[in-house]
Amino acid sequence: MAEAKPGETLILSWTPNGHLNNAKPTKVDILYYAEPGKEFGTYGEAQSAPKAATLDFATNANCKKPEDAGHPCTGQLKVPDNLKPGNTYSFVWFWHFNSNGAEEYTTCFDIKIV
- Residue-range domains of the chain with CATH: 2-35+46-113 (2.70.50.50)
pLDDT at 34: 87
Poorest-confidence range of 4-8, 54-58, 80-84? 54-58
pLDDT at 101: 61
pLDDT at 99: 62
Q: What is the pLDDT of residues 62-104, one digit of tens each?
A: 888 877 878 898 999 999 999 999 999 999 998 888 765 678 8
Q: What is the pLDDT of residues 9-20, one digit of tens each?
A: 999 998 888 777
Q: How far apart are CA 85 and CA 23, in angstroms?
A: 41
DSSP 12-52: EEE--TT---SSS--EEEEEE-SSTT----SHHHHHTSPEE
pLDDT at 50: 93
